[in-house]
């Protein structure tokens, strides 16, 4: 599989539009045309001054939060949409990164949620 390398400045847009297919940096690197995830990660770090894993988690958290607050899907459906095995894994993912549960996100005032996500996102400046 010989893919053309895409411009690293497009990587976050590509991540956002393919988030349901990208659960790991290695999958993201392949979509960007890199056979070696480490090479992608080094180039990404040089360009954005943060690690791709941090950006991946940040974008996933923002999108998952939006889905949870829309209350249109079950936690299981949201988890599967973002490449997470089930609602238990979704709970662990959110709890690990935001120190709250999916239910807390659904009930939390918008401003408080934005603060929580931005505290995590302060590591990300694209």
Q: What is the mean pLDDT of residues 39-60?
A: 94
State pLDDT tens for residues 71-122.
Answer: 899 999 999 998 899 999 999 999 999 999 999 999 999 999 888 888 877 7
Give 7-16 pLDDT, tens digit per residue: 898 999 999 9
Q: Is residue 47 part of a domain?
A: yes
Question: What local confidence, expressed as pLDDT, does residue 1 receive?
Answer: 42
54 vs 43: CA distance, rounded Å: 15
Question: 126 lies in a domain?
Answer: no
Same domain, 72 and 39: no
Same domain, 72 and 111: yes
**Whether residue 78 sits in one domain with residue 25:** no
Q: Which pLDDT does position 78 carry in this prediction? A: 95
Residues 59 and 34: their CA atoms lie apart, in Å, by: 21
The confidence band for 54, taking pLDDT boundaries of 50, 70 and 90, is very high
Same domain, 33 and 59: no
Q: Is residue 39 domain-shared with residue 85, that is, in the same domain?
A: no
Compute the Cα dihedral for 40, 125, 50, 56 and give only its sign. Answer: negative
Structural domain range at position 16 = 8-51
Predicted local confidence at residue 123, as pLDDT: 66
Q: Would you state the pLDDT for residue 116?
A: 85
Structural domain count, the chain: 2
- Same domain? 29 vs 86: no
Domain assignment of residue 92, yes or no: yes
Same domain, 57 and 117: yes
- Do 73 and 95 belong together in one domain? yes
pLDDT of 5 reads 79
């Amino acid at each position: 599989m010989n893919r053309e390398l895409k411009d690293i400045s497009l990587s976050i847009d590509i991540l956002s539009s393919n988030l349901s297919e990208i659960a790991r940096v290695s999958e993201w690197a392949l979509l960007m045309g890199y056979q070696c995830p480490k090479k992608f990660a080094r180039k990404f770090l040089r360009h954005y001054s943060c690690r791709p894993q941090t950006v991946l988690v940040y974008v996933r958290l923002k999108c998952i939060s939006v889905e949870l607050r829309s209350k249109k899907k079950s936690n299981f459906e949201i988890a599967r949409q973002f490449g997470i095995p089930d609602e238990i894994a979704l709970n662990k993912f959110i709890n690990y990164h935001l120190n709250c549960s999916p239910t807390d996100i659904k009930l939390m005032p918008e401003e408080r949620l934005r603060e929580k996500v931005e505290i995590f996102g302060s590591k990300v400046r694209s």
